[in-house]
Amino acid sequence: MDALQFTQQLINGLTLGSLYGLIAIGYTMVYGILRLINFAHGDIMMVGCYIAFYGIAIFTLPWWASFILAIVLTALLGILIDLGAYRPVRHAPRISALITAIGVSFLLENLGLVLFGGRPKAFAVPEILSSIREVSGLRIPDLHLVTIAVAILLLAVLYLILYRTNAGRAMRCIALDIETTKLMGVDVNRIIALTFAVGSAAAAAGGILWAMKYPQINPLMGIMPGLKGFIAAVLGGIGNVTGAMLGGLLLGVLEIITVAIRPDLAGYRDAMAFAVLIVILLFWPTGLLGKRNA
């Protein structure tokens, strides 16, 4: 494999990695604040895809309006899930919250199957994003550039939120010590709802970009990206937003490059993420950018 092919696959990998990173951000934010693995996160991404799909298909909105609507509605869904399912078990022990998360995940998947039907649907990719450009021998779809750009942009926005706003500071405080934050007069419920909203919005953005890259959506599409998003979050150090994006990029690049070098292992690409997880747990449990557990 020569340098040109390698660069080509590298860009593919970075694109896929940005998608994983967008999903990982939601996982890592919720885990950082609530110490809860939100199993439903992948399915929230799926719902975002479907809202965008139906916005274009049934309500015939222009694509940008449909995308914005999908992101907003998915953020609301995240808040709703927190309110309905996670808040009642917030003071319950960990295993109860995890089981509830599994329940929500399963509920979303099966509601999707019942409401949307199990048959995969074709996602309409807007004209403006379907072109491929040639840059010094490389063929780069515009979509890939947009994906990477969106990921970087979202990371920057998140940084602004976390380090320049009061709400962001509250989020960081809750991640450190929720009880003391309550004592400081912070409305913890509101901040947690905001965290879910931001995480779900990121997932929806990732989902829409995913649906444009692999334009076939079905209600069970969120399971694998969700799993890999979590592995990416662990790889980067769970609780750390930069780590989530970094982990996502690494995972994406690793997956694509491995399949490029050994195409006969293509069927095992999903298993590779799991192997990465085991290796991380064996040698580097806190992840690349993680701090030791308090």
CB of residue 81 vs other proteins: minimum separation in angstroms? 10
Q: Contact with other proteins (CB under 8 A): which of 69, 140, 223, 288?
A: 223
Q: Contact with other proteins (CB under 8 A): which of 224, 261, 262, 291?
A: 224
- Which of the stretches 59-67, 91-99, 164-172, 248-256 binds other proteins when contact is defined by CB under 8 A? 91-99
Q: Does 169 bind other proteins (CB under 8 A)?
A: no
Q: Does 80 bind other proteins (CB under 8 A)?
A: no
Cα four-point dihedral sign 253, 270, 99, 39: positive
- Which of the stretches 146-154, 168-176, 255-263, 281-289 binds other proteins when contact is defined by CB under 8 A? 281-289
Angle, to 10 degrees, between the axis of helix 3-34 and the axis of helix 166-176? 80
Q: Three-state SS for 8?
A: helix
Q: Does 156 bind other proteins (CB under 8 A)?
A: no
- Which of the stretches 69-77, 132-140, 194-202, 273-281 binds other proteins when contact is defined by CB under 8 A? 273-281
Q: Contact with other proteins (CB under 8 A): which of 59, 159, 163, 274?
A: 274
Q: Does 104 bind other proteins (CB under 8 A)?
A: yes
Q: DSSP for 13-66, please give it.
A: HHHHHHHHHHHHHHHHHHHHHH----TTHHHHHHHHHHHHHHHHHTS---HHHH
Q: Contact with other proteins (CB under 8 A): which of 80, 102, 132, 261?
A: 102
Structure tokens at 155: 């990371």
| Residues 6+ positions from 241 with CB-CB distance below 8 Å | 25, 28, 29, 155, 158, 159, 162
Q: Does 93 bind other proteins (CB under 8 A)?
A: yes
Angle, to 10 degrees, between the axis of helix 269-283 and the axis of helix 241-261? 130
Q: Does 89 bind other proteins (CB under 8 A)?
A: yes
Q: How many residues bind other proteins (CB under 8 A)?
A: 42
- Which of the stretches 17-25, 86-94, 134-142, 203-211 binds other proteins when contact is defined by CB under 8 A? 86-94
- Which of the stretches 7-15, 67-75, 110-118, 148-156 binds other proteins when contact is defined by CB under 8 A? 110-118
Q: Contact with other proteins (CB under 8 A): which of 50, 53, 123, 230?
A: 230
**Closest to other proteins by CB, 186 or 231:** 231
Nearest-angstrom CA–CA distance, 78 and 83? 9
Structure tokens at 280: 């991380």
**Closest to other proteins by CB, 110 or 180:** 110
**Beta carbons within 10 angstroms of residue 200's beta carbon:** 32
**Closest to other proteins by CB, 149 or 278:** 278
Cβ–Cβ under 8 Å, residues 219 and 112: yes
Nearest-angstrom CA–CA distance, 278 and 294? 22
Nearest-angstrom CA–CA distance, 223 and 173? 31
Tell me the sheet residues that pair with 141: 132
What are the residues binding other proteins (CB under 8 A)?
Answer: 35, 37, 39, 85, 88-89, 92-96, 98-100, 102-104, 106-107, 110-111, 113-114, 118, 223-224, 227, 230-231, 234, 267-268, 270-271, 273-274, 277-278, 281-282, 285, 293
